[in-house]
Amino acid sequence: MKLDSTISIHDLETSLTRFWELSGEKINLIESNFDTANGAPVFTEKGKYVTRGWTEWTQGFQYGSAILQFDATGDEQFLKIGRDSTLNKMAPHLTHTGVHDHGFNNVSTYGNLLRLIKEGKIKGADWEKNFYELALKVSGAVQAMRWTNTTNGGYIYSFNGPHSLFVDTIRSCRALVVSHGLGHVLQGENDKRISLIQRAIQHILSTLRYSIYYGEGRDTYDLSGRTAHEIIFNTNDGNYRCPNSQQGYTGFSTWTRGLAWAICGIGETLEILDKIDESDYSSIISKNDFITELKKAAIATCEFYLANTPTDGIPYWDTGAPNLHKMGDYLNEKSDPYNPHEPIDSSAACITAQGLIRIGNWLKSSDPELSEKYIQAGIQIAKNLFSEPYISTDPTHQGLILHAIYHQPNGWDHRPEADKAPYGESCMWGDYHARELALLLQRMQKGENNYSFFNCVSQ
């Protein structure tokens, strides 16, 4: 990626206004045309959102988007959509024991609504506030039940089973962090009280130590900052076995959306750590040692992303994708979503940009130069995402950010032209995280308090 110091956050003012106008149109288009009876909207085909029965992990992004739209614009119609839909449709997600995605579904809905009450942006009666708090307590505890012990800790296992650690889940840990912050614990057999913050931090440490590489010779493909989508453990003895991938090309290349989840999850963890009492997790690791590991991982993953992404900061779907070699010097050019070889994943850019900004903000006091670099990168990625060819201006297209991809290995993504890679479609998580990114930037631009998931617990 090429950084341009002449671009500032204030250059985004017009883009953000246009972004929220388009965002509202898309939310209303989905609300009036999509039937959730068959499942949640996942990604678009020919501009229309469709379901994909793999796991139900995107409905919270649908209704969370409406809540974010209200937050950014004050338009009450979107608060009603988000509030009513959370109340009437999200309950099954609270007790869904089959997914590792509670931090996506429930913090994006119940969490955002509670945050708006805590921030004074909406009025909430005591029953409503208590209702959201109870939902978040339950969600974090249910998520924490998906637990595998390892030789030096443990992790929340993916829907693949107890042997499987997904890099994505580092961001879903926020369900446990919020539940703990609200004073909750998981009660197990014989009334054993299990600390949710300790499980969250053990999971994060497993991700830092196994899913992220540091160029220290771990295997032949140990490049500093690269990530593996899935890590396999032997559940009989808790030992690490090997890297793997579900949505990336291989376990030995970097699926860029997995890299994005790592960057974003690390950034969110760093910025809220001062609000958590160290004594609640010191039996696992000291705060100083935890910060040391988080900072090492943050810098490694951010640098890898910037070095392995085209000049505009929007990546191809996997850094080891088999046909990238046919694209010439593609890293020294802007991303090309219409190429015939490999698809772009704009959703990875949406997720990464806010991670870069959060890490950059956290580094301001300790490393001003690196801080400026990462914030600048996040701003530039946002500028490019909120412009053509990535912003969707077609009034009939239900997606907001174009050229996202879901599952290239499975061939699920729509190909408008047989001789080109998939392009022109959107996904629910990409659109949601674009809105989170826009809200984060808008608050920074206006000098308002930081947009953080933990604001639903403590400001």
**Chain segment 309-368, per-residue pLDDT in tens:** 999 999 999 999 999 999 999 999 999 999 999 999 999 999 999 999 999 999 999 999
Q: What is the pLDDT of residues 114-147, one digit of tens each?
A: 999 999 999 999 999 999 999 999 999 999 999 9
pLDDT, residue 336, reads 98
Look at residue 459 and tell me whether its pLDDT is greater than 80. no
pLDDT, residue 172, reads 95
Tell me what percent of the residues of the chain surpass a pLDDT of 90. Answer: 98
Look at residue 55 and tell me whether its pLDDT is greater than 90. no
Look at residue 245 and tell me whether its pLDDT is greater than 80. yes
pLDDT, residue 303, reads 98
Mean pLDDT of 5-9: 96
pLDDT, residue 184, reads 98
- Model confidence band, residue 54 (pLDDT cutoffs 50, 70, 90): confident
Q: What is the pLDDT of residues 356-403, one digit of tens each?
A: 999 999 999 999 999 999 999 999 999 999 999 999 999 999 999 999
Higher per-residue pLDDT: 105 or 38: 105
- Model confidence band, residue 238 (pLDDT cutoffs 50, 70, 90): very high
Look at residue 442 and tell me whether its pLDDT is greater than 90. yes
Q: How far apart are CA 244 and CA 251, in angstroms?
A: 4
pLDDT, residue 73, reads 98
Look at residue 66 and tell me whether its pLDDT is greater than 90. yes
Token couple for 176: 């446990």
Q: What is the pLDDT of residues 82-110, one digit of tens each?
A: 999 999 999 999 999 999 999 999 999 99
Tell me what percent of the residues of the chain surpass a pLDDT of 70. Answer: 100
pLDDT, residue 38, reads 86
pLDDT, residue 381, reads 98
Q: How far apart are CA 313 and CA 13, in angstroms?
A: 20
Q: What is the pTM of this model?
A: 0.98
Mean pLDDT of 14-37: 96
Which residue ranges make up each domain of the chain?
1-33+309-342+363-446, 55-144, 146-299
pLDDT, residue 53, reads 79
Q: What is the pLDDT of residues 258-281, one digit of tens each?
A: 999 999 999 999 999 999 999 999
CATH domain 146-299 topology = Glycosyltransferase (1.50.10)
